[in-house]
A and B are shown apart, each in its own frame.
Chain A
């Protein structure tokens, strides 16, 4: 009954604040759309060097849609590749020819490889999938794209906005004196925390569903697994964001100080969430990852969205998220003791 009252009040406040509601839903959509355009924009026209190519073979190749340059020796081609005049070159000393990519930009790598496969198709009449020997001047072929870090971004946005808005609204409750007012009512401390979780939880579920739906069905983000799992993961992630936001709001005296937690608490989580290769992070820093909620959420989201895994592969991550939330909840209730002992 009392919790319901709290839930209704919170929902009313969110719905009334149209701007914040728009921020929660439209901001992630806008940013994701921009990233989508940036990373999946118009097809890139690759600059490709052809080394030691005989006229007999050249007539057989499909060489449209690329800027081509002929070279006598591989050495000259390599020089131009280093100077970024080329994205890649093909060496026709054997069949199929070998490829050397510049490699530092994954979207270029992808475009080049797609072009090469098209160009060489006439040489493989039985549609055979002969392995093309590929080398990279920089980087490697494993670098991902929107599909790969999309799930991380999805998790990050949900975390970021829920953290901020729940934190600020609890902070306001404290600074306007309404928290004190709540504590002079028969409301119990855990009821306050539970009310907040349910009130924001309902809204977050709608937010997560809309953003995930947009990313997957409008932007066409890779989605191998079940949509329900994505919702479940984002819901649990927002629960940790919510409880952490409320907890940290007790250490902020105003909205600006709440925002100061973003570079401290929220942004660093990106670095450990697999957006960057965890193995390449310096060892003295990589231990931080397992202490950040986004680490587990991103892993679970990628398992579902990219690898198409199910419950078996994500339940451990989900349990970790739940454990984080429970820990923050207990700390929240303890923090409220500052205002009322009983």
Chain B
């Protein structure tokens, strides 16, 4: 394995008395799809927000590309897609893309080129000039993904990217993850869907703010003697 792209070192976080993250240490390597698996409220979003530069840990450090977060110049190398779609519904898809592309300093031919490329990747090329308010839920999700890819980030952080998306689309989105991975992009994806977890190269299981296990899906199943990821998760959770 090469050097870690993401290195989480003894990170804890609390909101008032509520402990959201407890001493999490984790490394994610170049070119892998890493899945953070856990139920709602386990602390997945808090952790990825720290990696995206929105929050800071109370204790411990996060390193991305071997630099300590949060840093503005690191943010440029990260693509982030939040749980909510975060689109301007009163603008067209093209206008949304133009806006975010400009924020990342893209312009001219490069900007147009990237806009077409990312829309192709999420199969929305035909809907470029449509108002986002006329988009379906799944289309909005894919547009969000396209926007997070605009600046060709080395690390892609996706918070529940396939929530509310039908199985056919989910499959096509995972196919785009694989092609991104082949191009050298490291992907960190959170999910609470167990069958999605099986598609990740490695998994981190989070419960109540603690990392209860990490490894490839096969390793995790083997260690617990479970037949599937769900049983493995339950076994680690002490159920």
Contacts and interface: CB of A to CB of B under 8 A. Distances in A.
B38 interface: no
Contacts of B90: 13, 16-17
A2 B103 CA distance: 5
B84 interface: yes
B193 interface: no
A176 interface: yes
A185 B54 contact: no
B107 interface: yes
Interface residues of A, number: 27
B72 A181 contact: no
B86 A12 contact: no
Interface string A1-15: 110111011001100
Contacts of B71: 342
A1 B105 contact: yes
A267 to B, nearest CB: 29
A267 B138 CA distance: 44
A13 B88 contact: yes
Nearest to A182: B103
B82 A342 contact: no
A177 interface: yes
Q: How extensive is the interface on chain B, given as a class?
A: 20 to 34
A342 B88 contact: no
Contact of B70 (A180, A181, A342): A342
Contacts of A342: 53, 70-72
Contacts of B70: 340-342
Interface in A3-59: 4-6, 8-9, 12-13, 16-17
Best-buried of B88, B91, B103 by chain A (most CB within 10 Å): B103
Contacts of A339: 54
B87 A187 contact: no
B78 A9 contact: no
Contacts of B53: 183-184, 340, 342
A286 interface: no
A172 B73 CA distance: 27
A181 B86 contact: yes
Interface stretch (B94-102, B168-176, B205-213, B222-230): B94-102
A186 interface: yes
B54 A8 contact: no
A260 interface: no
A185 B104 contact: yes
A4 B107 CA distance: 12
A188 interface: yes
A257 interface: no
B82 A181 contact: yes
A180 B86 contact: yes
A183 B86 CA distance: 11
Nearest to B85: A177
Interface in B66-84: 70-73, 75-76, 78, 80, 82-84
Nearest to A5: B102
A124 interface: no
B115 to A, nearest CB: 14
B88 A186 contact: no
Contacts of A187: 103
A72 B1 CA distance: 114
A12 B95 contact: yes
Contact of B82 (A17, A177, A340): A177
B32 interface: no
Contact of B88 (A9, A185, A188, A341): A9
Contacts of A8: 98-99, 102
A117 interface: no
Max count, chain B CB within 10 A of own CB: residue among A16, A180, A186: A186
A176 B86 contact: yes
B52 interface: yes
A75 B54 CA distance: 80
Contacts of B85: 176-177
B169 to A, nearest CB: 21
Contacts of A5: 98-99, 102-103
Given A176-B87, A177-B85, A180-B86, 17 more contacts: A1-B102, A5-B98, A5-B103, A8-B98, A9-B91, A12-B95, A13-B90, A177-B83, A178-B86, A181-B100, A182-B103, A184-B54, A184-B75, A184-B80, A185-B103, A341-B56, A341-B70
17 contacts: A1-B105, A2-B103, A5-B102, A8-B98, A9-B95, A13-B88, A16-B91, A176-B84, A181-B86, A184-B78, A184-B80, A185-B75, A186-B75, A186-B105, A340-B53, A341-B56, A342-B72
Per CB-CB distance, the 8 closest pairs between chain A and chain B, nearest first, are: A5-B102, A177-B84, A181-B86, A177-B86, A184-B80, A185-B103, A9-B99, A178-B86
